[in-house]
Amino acid sequence: MKDIDLKTTIQTVLRKYPFTQKFFHSKNMYCNICACKKHETLYMAAVNYGHNPEKFLEELKDFIGKLHTD
């Protein structure tokens, strides 16, 4: 999870942590079916959907931490 930052692409997150699809859905982001996931970073996605990027990243990491153990 330390490898995730605002420059990480949505696709990278979904590949490593498939269950994050639920997190994105909770933010009304249907990244698993969007063609942009290949190149769109977490920063770009957060901004495009009206979220504070830093808070968005923190919430995503918290979500992953609760459901995944490295």
CB proximity list for 40: less than 8 A, separation 6 or greater: 9, 10, 31, 34, 48
Q: What is the pLDDT of residue 67?
A: 86
Chain centre to alpha carbon of residue 68: 14
pLDDT on residue 52: 98
Give the pLDDT confidence score for residue 1 in this predicted structure: 61
**pLDDT for the residue numbered 68:** 75
The stretches in the chain having pLDDT less than 70 are: 1, 30-37, 69-70
pTM of structure: 0.85
